[in-house]
Chain A
Amino acid sequence: MTVQFLSHRAGAVLLTLAITGCVNLPADRGWDASRAALSQRAPEVAQHLHDPSATAPHDATHTAVDTLLAAPLTADTAIRVALLAHPNIRIEYAKLGIAQADWLDASQPSNPVFSATRLDSDAPGGGDIRTFGLMQNLGELLFRHSAAQVADDEIAIARLSAAATIHTMATDVAHHWYDAAAAVEMARVHEASAETARASAALAARFHAAGNISQLALSQHQQAAHAAHIALADAKAAAAVALLALNQAMGLAAPVRWDIAPLPARATFAASTEELLETGRTQRLDLAIASRRIDNLQRTVKLARTLRWIPFLEVGIEREREPDGTRLQGPTIAIELPLFGRNRSPLLRAEAALEQAIAEKSLLDADISNAIVTAHTGASHAAAKIDAYLSDLIPVQQQILEEMQLQQNYMLTGPFELLTAKQTEFSVCADYVEALRQFWQQYVALGVAVGSDVPTRPVHQHETTTACAQLAAPSNEPHTDMQHTPAVHDHGGHH
């Protein structure tokens, strides 16, 4: 075999390598794969996920966001706003680019190395020695497939992680939406309560002006009104903070420039614990990532075992021109001798990492099952509590108020007792709103635990508005003041 032949062959090999090394990278950096992973688990979220690589005009995105913000924001539209506007989307897209670069690094063999040396002699009349070499890491070539598989795992994990981050962002938006909607509802109840307390204090002032109640009694009514006003201020502040938190969760800058839709009533989601556990096992993105990581580490361990004995292998050709013009050329090989055990560490590290990953997946399995059961238990309890409010406590409170009104009609009880009963009703309403908030948070937690869509459009809605929304809403019905009821006389006795 001549050197020329070898040179030609080396050139052909290098050319082949060059050609095959130029892989086609997906233009969307694998964003579609992330969307597909999300779509299998949270199709409602995935369907609104836009492609950051698409050259959509900036204004079009703004217009889409403004359109969504123009109507009172529901949990669903809030998530859609976040999917359009949140910088996290672009961050994840950038991460995919980094992952893609990492994949290139990991999956592609090293470039051949060309070397050139010129050695000048300081002997009189001496020439120079020129050496040219071309080396290629053969180990990488030999195990390129295995390395590529490991790299594939890594980028798949990166894409799953992007999907997981987006899913977490969506659930975070939902969590903040329910918090904000409940806080706004709570403020509304407190507003009605404060208005009632104000009216009661104003009425007491009239009684006091007529000389019919003492200063002590008047002060007690005023105290209640002031306390209600302070509670209202607290509730409004809490609502403002909750709205800002939602604004932030959607990735928007302050101030809040949208309204929020009413808190929906209790809903029914029909799924057993067993069904939810099975769903969680198949849906959870972090679990999928953990499984993929184990696969990845298993391949890494296998590769490490092999590379332990062939840690470094490089082949090439070298050509040297002697000072007298003689040309020498031939193959070169460099191989690392695994004498001092330094090549054990990658294997040990990989094996340990694999053990760790397996243990972490087991932990994750346990955490997920506990989270699912906990969330399901919490959601079931919250649902039962809501039912108790709707079927028992609120109707009874309304009955109390109706009976108190009948008593006030017949002057069996006074106006202040009636207003106090109304205040109690508002207090029950406030408790109900809090129970409803906890109900929806439990269901968001359940969606997170199961790894599926966040509940925004439930299977069965129990009513279109909360009972307390009706209680808190001022009545605009026309009313005939009984004080102006004309007297009805039978004048039959007159002559």
Chain B
Amino acid sequence: MVKRREVIHSIGLGGAGLVAARAIAQQGETGQRTTLPPGHTDRGYLPVRTLNGWTLPYKMKDGVKEFHLVAETIEHEFAPGCRATCWGYNGSTPGPTIEAVEGDRVRILVTNQLGEPTSIHWHGLDVPAGMDGVAGLNQPAIGVGETWAYEFTLNQHGTHMYHPHADELTQLAFGMMGAFIIHPKTPEPVAVDRDYVLLLHNWALHPGTYRPDPAIMQEFDLWTFNSKVFPATEPLLMRTGERLRIRIGNLSMWNHPIHLHSNPYWVTGSDGARWPQSQWRRETTEIVGVGQMRDLEFVATEPGDWAMHCHMAHHTMGPMGHNLPNTVGVDQSGIAGDIRKFLPGFNAMGQHGMSEHSRHVAAGLRGPDNTLPMMTGDGPFGPIEMGGMFTVLKVRDDLEPGDYRDPGWYQHPQGKIASKISSNPDYGKPVRAQATNRKYE
């Protein structure tokens, strides 16, 4: 690390260039930092953790980091009880995260084991036109069985993605995507202690089917964080006082307002670049638009289990019917019994809302094959009644740095949890709004 005294001294010797040269010299031939912050690998950066995913290893060949992606058909589980034939990279959706460092020369081999041509676009990367990956525009498509090479130097750092650009509608709909993280070659001024990445996506996996439908534009069934739905989404873990970054990319068909409970965060970057600190925004909900990436950072100030989810209510649900008659408020008593004479399995439901659904499912109510219930997941106090784009941030006082093991549910200290004070619905004299035709004073 270049110290301030050395900078002042070096300026005197020859200017900033000597400072830069000395900094690079300190890194060594392999680009390794000589002084590593806690958690950083010998590669000089803190590797990201891809929730429910993994990072692609590389081989060094003549100074070039060589990665190998394989586009192929895969079997993927969204959550226990729901799986599908999807398309992905190297056996998973999303595909493995590619991590490199600004200034690296990378070579990415892409083998196509799909049944149709493909290509890969490096979303947000500054690359030569011929490497941009739009089939037909920048290159011929990668034919079935072929392996092509993309090679370019990384001239930036930040949070990016990769995805097909041949039959993009279909190949994206089937799950072909991945994160491309470029770490800065110089340490970040505000270092993080944990660095997560997740990609947002949506799937039209119609009830009872085993293959997504790429023709659907709006009525999706599954909303995912890294191709998983709650309760199969991996929680984010951190120690109280640590700084956490969440890199979120959106390759779905909807914008998603990502909300984190009780931990306001800074929006610190996009797929265009990391923003100067003066441009950081303080938010609790950040809309990640289609095709965008956002970096969110914060320091956890107190322990607990905090929900993190898309704030579009339907996106935190499992598959649900649309265009159904609204059952809320409908008294079906008596008639349900008449109907059961001919439909023994019929259940009247939804008169007072849909909360009962998770109880019904827990009691054994079956749905179509390979179909998740609309809301599910149990917490320490009962059904969480969520699905889709929902996960939990678990902050613990005693979580060791680099420890990603699930610590279980948070144990609330006494006096710091909501408590019931009455079971009488008429308790108290709460003030209510007056009639709508009142005069405003």
Judge if A27 is at the interface, Cβ distance under 8 Å. no
Q: Which residue of A lies closest to B325 (CB)?
A: A414
Those 5 A-B pairs whose CB atoms lie nearest each other, nearest first: A493-B380, A410-B367, A474-B341, A414-B324, A210-B329
> Once the chains bind, are B368 and A490 in contact (CB under 8 Å)?
no
Residue of B nearest to A405 (CB): B345
The reply on B339 being an interface residue by CB < 8 A is yes
CB of B60 closer than 8 Å to a CB of A = no
| Known interface pairs A199-B338, A481-B348, A482-B356; A410-B380 also in contact (CB < 8 Å) | no
Residues on A lying within 8 angstroms of B by beta carbon are 192, 195-196, 199, 202-203, 206-207, 209-213, 217, 401-403, 405-416, 418-419, 422, 474-477, 479, 481-483, 485-495
Could you list 15 A-B pairs, sorted by A, with CB under 8 Å?
A195-B342, A212-B330, A403-B368, A409-B366, A410-B357, A411-B374, A415-B346, A422-B342, A475-B342, A481-B348, A483-B347, A488-B359, A488-B363, A493-B381, A495-B412
Are B346 and A407 interface neighbours, CB within 8 A? no
Count contacts between A and B, CB distance < 8 Å.
170
| Contact call A206/B331, Cβ cutoff below 8 A | yes
B7 shortest CB reach to chain A, Å: 53
Query: Are B325 and A212 in contact (CB-based, < 8 A)?
Result: yes
A411 touching B349 by the CB < 8 A rule?
Answer: yes
Contacts of A419 in B (CB 8 A): 339, 343
Known interface pairs A409-B345, A422-B343, A483-B347; A489-B381 also in contact (CB < 8 Å): yes
Q: How far is the CA of A440 from the CA of B368 in the complex (A)?
A: 39
Question: Is the C-beta of B320 less than 8 angstroms from some C-beta in chain A?
Answer: yes
Whether the pair B331, A412 counts as a contact (CB closer than 8 A) is no
Chain A proximity of B418: nearest CB distance (Å): 11
Q: Which of A209, A402, A406, A412 gathers most chain B CB within 10 Å?
A: A412
CA distance A418 to B414 in the complex (A): 49
* Cα–Cα distance between A495 and B419 once the two chains are bound (Å): 10
Contact with A along B367-384 (1 / 0, CB 8 A): 110010110001111110
The chain A residue with its CB closest to the CB of B351 is: A483
Hey, which chain B residues are within 8 Å of A203, CB to CB? 332, 335, 339
Chain B residues with CB under 8 A of A476: 341
Instruction: Please determine whether B359 and A487 come into contact, CB atoms closer than 8 angstroms.
Output: yes
B360 part of interface (Cβ distance < 8 Å): yes
The 8 A CB mask of B220-249 against A (1 = contact, 0 = none) is: 000000000000000000000000000000
Question: Which of B319, B320, B339 is most buried by chain A, counting CB atoms within 10 A of its CB?
Answer: B339
CA distance A492 to B207 in the complex (A): 34
Cβ–Cβ < 8 Å partners of B371 in chain A: 406, 410, 412
Q: How far is the CB of B128 from chain A (nearest CB, A)?
A: 48
Q: Are A474 and B381 in contact (CB under 8 A)?
A: no
Could you say which residues of chain B place their CB within 8 Å of the CB of A411? 320-321, 324, 349-350, 354, 357, 374
CB distance from B12 to the nearest CB of A (A): 62
Find out whether the CB atom of B347 lies under 8 angstroms from the CB atom of A481.
yes
B434 on the A face (CB < 8 A): no
Q: Does B326 sit at the interface, judged by CB under 8 A?
A: yes
* Contact residue among A212, A488, A490 (Cβ-Cβ distance under 8 Å from B326): A212
B234 to chain A, nearest CB (A): 21
How long is the Cα–Cα vector from A410 to B349 in the complex, in angstroms? 10
Q: Is the CB of B382 within 8 A of A487?
A: yes
Given contacts A414-B321, A489-B381, A493-B381, contact A192 B367 (CB under 8 A): no
B413 touches A495 (CB 8 A): yes
**Which of B320, B331, B347, B354 interacts with A482 by CB under 8 Å?**
B347
Closest residue of chain B to A492 (Cβ to Cβ) is: B380
A183 → B minimal CB distance (Å): 21
Chain A CB within 10 A, most for which of B320, B346, B348: B346
Are B325 and A196 in touch, CB under 8 angstroms? no
Residues of A within 8 A of B343 (CB): 401, 405, 418-419, 422
* Pair B339/A409 contact, Cβ less than 8 Å: no
Query: Are A403 and B208 in contact, with the CB atoms below 8 A?
Result: yes
Give B396-438 interface residues, CB cut-off 8 Å to A.
Answer: 409-414, 417
Please indicate the chain B residues that have their CB under 8 angstroms from the CB of A402 in the complex. Answer: 345
The CA-CA distance from A475 to B343 in the complex, in Å, is 8
CB-CB under 8 A for A493 and B409, given A202-B335, A413-B324:
yes
A195 partner residues in chain B, CB cutoff 8 A: 338, 341-342
Q: Complex: how many Å from CA A213 to CA B360?
A: 25
Q: How far is the CA of A214 from the CA of B359 in the complex (A)?
A: 31
- Report if A475-B381 is in contact (Cβ < 8 Å); known contacts: A407-B321, A413-B324: no
Cβ-neighbour of A213 out of B207, B325, B341 (below 8 A) = B325
Closest A residue to B206 by CB, please name it: A412
CA distance A495 to B410 in the complex (A): 12
Q: Enumerate chain A residues within 8 angstroms of B208, measured Cβ to Cβ.
A: 403, 407
Q: Does B169 contact A (CB under 8 A)?
A: no
Q: Is the Cβ of A482 less than 8 Å from the Cβ of B339? A: no
Q: Knowing A199-B335, A491-B381, say if A410 contacts B329 (CB, 8 Å).
A: no
Contact B324 A485 (CB under 8 A): no
Check B155 for interface membership: any CB of A closer than 8 A: no
Residue of B nearest to A205 (CB): B335
Residues of A within 8 A of B354 (CB): 411
Q: Which chain B residue shows the least CB distance to A475? A: B344
From B335, B348, B373, B374, give the contact of A483 (CB < 8 A): B348
A334 to B409, CA, bound (A): 134
A437 and B413 CA atoms in complex are apart in Å by 75
Contacting residues, chain A, for B279 (C-beta < 8 A): none
B330 in contact with A210 (CB, 8 Å): yes
CA distance A180 to B326 in the complex (A): 44
Provide the bound-state CA to CA distance between A406 and B364, in Å: 12
Task: Tell me which residues across on chain A come within 8 A of B340, comparing CB atoms.
Answer: 475, 479
Contact A495–B414 (Cβ < 8 Å)? yes
Tell me which of B320, B342, B373 contacts A192 (CB under 8 A): B342
Instruction: Tell me which of B332, B356, B414 contacts A206 (CB under 8 A).
Output: B332
Closest to B326 in A: A212
Judge if B328 is at the interface, Cβ distance under 8 Å: yes
A403 closest partner in B (C-beta): B368
Contact B324 A410, beta carbon cutoff 8 Å = no
Do the beta carbons of B321 and A495 come within 8 Å of each other? no
A210, B374: Cβ atoms closer than 8 Å: no
**Does B191 count as interface, using CB distance less than 8 angstroms?**
no
Contact among A202, A211, A409, A416 with B367 in the assembled complex (CB-CB below 8 Å): A409
B336 within 8 A of A: yes
A-B contacts besides A195-B342, A217-B325, A483-B348, 20 pairs, CB < 8 Å = A203-B335, A210-B326, A402-B345, A403-B208, A407-B321, A410-B319, A411-B354, A416-B325, A418-B346, A475-B340, A479-B340, A479-B344, A481-B348, A482-B349, A483-B347, A486-B359, A493-B380, A493-B410, A493-B412, A495-B413
Q: How far is the CA of A273 from the CA of B347 in the complex (A)?
A: 53
Minimum Cβ distance to chain A for residue B423 (Å): 14
User: In whole angstroms, what is the CA distance A209 to B367 when docked?
Assistant: 29
B363: which of A414, A422, A482, A491 is its contact (CB, 8 Å)? A482
Chain A residues with Cβ under 8 A from B324's Cβ?
411, 413-414
Contact status B335-A407, CB under 8 Å = no
The answer to whether B325 and A407 have CB atoms under 8 Å apart is no
A4 CB to closest chain B CB (Å) equals 102
Chain A residue nearest to B417 (CB atoms) is: A495
Q: With the chains together, A203 CA to B346 CA distance in Å?
A: 13
Residues of A within 8 A of B25 (CB): none
Bound state CA distance, A212 and B330, in angstroms?
A: 8
Whole-angstrom CA separation of A476 from B325 in the bound complex: 28
- Residues in A with CB closer than 8 Å to B207 are 407, 410, 412
Question: CA–CA, A401 to B410, complex, Å?
Answer: 44
Q: B207 — nearest CB in chain A belongs to which residue?
A: A412
| Inter-subunit contact A211/B342 (CB<8 Å) | no
CB within 8 A of A494: which of B329, B368, B381?
B381
Check: B11 CB closer than 8 A to any chain A CB: no
Q: With CB as the reference atom, state the residue of chain B lying closest to A217.
A: B325
A407 to B366, CA, bound (A): 9
The CA-CA distance from A211 to B373 in the complex, in Å, is 27
Chain A positions within 8 Å of B414 at CB level: 495
CB distance from A397 to the nearest CB of B (A): 13
Contacts of B357 in A (CB 8 A): 410-411
Let me know if A482 and B365 touch, CB within 8 A. yes
Complex CA–CA separation, A403 to B345 (angstroms): 11
